[in-house]
A and B are shown apart, each in its own frame.
Chain A
Amino acid sequence: MMYVIPEDIEFIVPVDLREALELINKLNNVKALAGGTDLVVDLKTGRFKPKYVVYIGGLKELRYIRDNNGSLHIGAVTTIQEILDSKIIAEKAPLLRAATEKFAYWQIRNTATIGGNLCNASPAADTAPPLLVYEAIIKAESVRGSRLIPIREFFKGPRQTALERDELVTEIIVPYKDLENSGYSYFKVGRRRGYDISLVAVACVVKVEGGVISDVRLALNSVAPIPVRAMNVEKTLIGKKPSLEIIEESSKLVVYDISPISDVRAPIEYRQYMAKLLTREALLEALKKTGVM
């Protein structure tokens, strides 16, 4: 039954980050728990059977949104709703806000955290496409020190990350300076509007300078073992004059960037079709926002 978390799992509630890092370093077979909208379910169903769980969701020092020199710094246990409600995010990283708007529903958004969404490393992670577009940097800390991991190197496979076993994600850094004055768009398809797990989502940013596309970044989830950038599409567009033809032509190339599977939610063919369609729509919408189309 799903009433309780199994009793053979020992829960520990550290008082601060330092204690959390020491515990994770010292213990074997340990999981860090933040919001719990994924992990609590996984503990109940037995998908994960750690011996220890270290609860970091209550660590206030990991809950903040700061603007610093062209980058946003978001504490790992900041909730999705806090990101959605944040004026700084709306102003500096509107694409991230757009993705959180379509993230599950109220009750989940109030609990789920941005660090948890990334560390859960679902191919369908909702915050991954916008963060891939911003080329976010993940700060990982351990008792040994801290290091910065570019988000493109963070996901290693379904439910697998680049984190070492003693490391915790403590902060997500979102550089936005390069993408100011660009057009953005986010599209997500699920079985139910904005609620269900993504079947395909596309995040897009386009910058037009001197009549040509000077920067374009596209990222998708749920169409590969990890959330991916659409480099083939991007390469075709860069330096080109925006037109319907080039959008049409380039969006078809997204199939070379993705490797979807058939599962309970959708077959391959549908995901490929929707990836192409959403890529086209995302490019159109983003270009419209730049005012050139």
Chain B
Amino acid sequence: MRSANLVLAIALIYVAVLFALAYVGDRRARSGRLGWLQSPLVYTLSISVYCSSWTFYGAVGSAARSGLEFATIYLGPTLIFAGWWLLLRKLVRIGHLHGITSIADMISSRYGKSAPLAALVTLISVVVSMPYIALQLKAITTSFQVVGNAGPDPLAGLPIAGPDFRLGFWITVGLAIFSVLFGTRNIDAKEQHPGVVAAIAFEAVVKLAALVVVGVLVVWGIGGGPTAIFAHAPPELLHAPDAFGSRWITTTFLAAAAIVCLPREFHVIVVESSDERQQRTASWLFPLYLFLTCLFIVPIAIAGIAFLPAGSNPDMFVLTLPMWAGHDAVAMFAFLGGFSSATSMVIVSCIAISTMVSNHIVMPIALQLNWVRESVSGEIRGLLMSSRRISICVLLMLGFLYFRLSGSPGALASIGLIAFAGVAQFLPSLVGGLFWRHANVGGALVGLAAGAGLWAYTLLLPNFGFIVTPDVVESGLFGLAWLRPQALFGLNGMDPLVHSVFWSLGVNTFLFAAVSLAREPRPLERLQSTLFVDVFRAPADTASIVMRRTAPVQELSVLAQRILGEYEAREFFRQAASAQNLGVDTPIADDTFITQLERKLAGSVGAASARALVSQVVTVETISLDELMKIADETQRVRAYSQELEEKSRQLGEAVERLKQLDSQKDEFLSQVSHEVRTPMASIRSFSEILRHTPDLKPEKAARFVRIINEESERLTRLLDSTLDLNMLERGEAPVDVTLIDPEVALENSIRVCQGLVATTKVRLSSGERVAGVTVRANADRIAQVFINLISNAIKYNTSPRPQVHVTSRIHEGTYEVLISDNGPGIRPEERERIFSKFVRGWAHTQTGASGAGLGLTISWQILRHLGGSLTLAEGSDSGACFRVALPVTAP
């Protein structure tokens, strides 16, 4: 029942459906009812134009030949979309603000609207599209042959000896007509094609559905479940020893680069997008589409190897497996899926590249040769339209030539990778331009030219065999061994793809960076660099502040009418005039207006040509370097300022913390002082009250009360003295006369004073090893105060049954040290930290009845600090506490 005619008929009906969809889409768009056409779902589906017939047929072929490597082609874009926040968001925002029409326009706009750069990018895109379109032609031709293979046993013709080039030619002609009708029906001011987007979104659904249907049929219909299928897998297929080496990394990288650098991908992602919501959804939905596409690839490949006759073309397994199983309808659906994937790729590529050719090659030449200067209204539009139509035909013919001339039949995937390596050359200029301020047009031109040249020599040309013949591949250009295309400069033993990518991208990136650093950018380059790199910070109308231009408004109007068409031009001028509040229909041609007009024109003819056109009309143009520097500085300054603010707020935060701490310390101090004052005050009050109200008190009792009152007031005085003393010490106001003294004298006096304390107790105060003839810079009274405080503490709080206090002194590393140790209860580890703080008393005071305000140690510590010494708690004393007083020795 299958015949070539039937297949042809079905294909034509399918194309008619696509036309209907595009027509409806465009109708809706023109009446402003975009609705679902701008939905994130349709946007995501249109991005899947990435999955051409390379994916539909070639992925299975690749999986059958080299296992999981096919997946890298889809993992690369997954990584880029998962990280959309970094790259895609910026790309799309710039695309919107500057009315970018293509990747060539993007790169040339960034580098000062350079026309040569735009032309170079266009040229490379055309060359790269040759193998890529050839791949689609080969896939459609072969699938047509396979599925239309009439005869008693359709499988007898498998494998097909080779593609039928006559058939291939007519398919090319058909595709050319199809693409011209589709892609150049109108020139939109914004270079958007809602109708085409609707059609390719539909095709995306068809190709995914076809692949899933074939997959389900193979896994559950033919194979008997996933486990059974994988049981058929040849052992080396999924476990090749070098599967995850340099080739794995290279193909992933190339695919990641291709998803932004391929002209058709750039077109659907950037040019056709309408708002950021779309990328937000696509960031996960597009990877999901790729995931579903790849899900059945490995099972289909395994089934093809296992069930089809040996030597079958693995690139056609998607088609031949359903045929082999006798499911003609599924085979037909698979054919339509493959047809969808190829046609959508060809249409969008043709739109993208023909736009580039007309804007960046034809227009500049036309301007140069004054074709358009004298032309009448609408002529430029006509020129653009016909140049686009012609370039689509030329593109497809070039693709056919490549298909015809490339000697080896080659797998689909290997042809596709040649194209990927070609477009990856755009990556340094594109990404570098988005993030690196100093990247300039010199670097971009030299890097791109060198990279593309190396790519052509090492990867593209060896595939043809007539410029770089097998002879040259074998022994190098002119017989020079170091010029061998697949072992350049003696770098041999590498996979040809990895080798080519290494040299071309390496040299490209190096030259891009080196030339950019060596050359000072022109003012316009600097302006564009600021606008692109700082797209999220710089105001969008910066250009009009910087560029000062004057032009006769009449000539601007003529120019606009030629390019935009009469109606749209008049509308644009009317809107501008009403925005200027003039009350007339003609606006004043000020800087803002000229900049707006140039941007509007750029949406039709690209930034470089728009600038050239406007420059013809403009009489005076200056770029204010001062203003430019100011804007560049502004963004820098804003950044520096915000950093400064952050630092300041951090410091403020710290200061607030410190103040809070001090405040709570002060509160604590006050409450402790009042607490300490209250106890003696209470007893003084109560005893004096008793004395007053009890006239017949016994004299000895009265005498005891008076003594208590006296003692308590003395204690109060001491407390207040200490507090004052401490306060002065802390604020550094304590009058301390520092002289050269012998500290041993002070120590001896202190011990003698304390002997008096000891006399009433059973404490043994002993003096151990002592030094003599030491001189320190200190105040004898203050030092004695410290010693007495420490020794009396050691005596007072000693609860040992045989209490002892031991005092020694020594010279240790140029420091005079006095150690006062006891065998009392000691200082608990948790108290060691705070023992020198105000009002802190060791737990020992709870063991004895001894009174104290908890200020002695603090005062001693402050005194020593003032004298340049220190008071510390010696570590590791077994029982009791050991305090160490240290003072620097002045004279030896």
- The yes or no verdict on A and B being binding partners is no
Interface residues of A (CB under 8 A from B): none
Interface residues of B (CB under 8 A from A): none
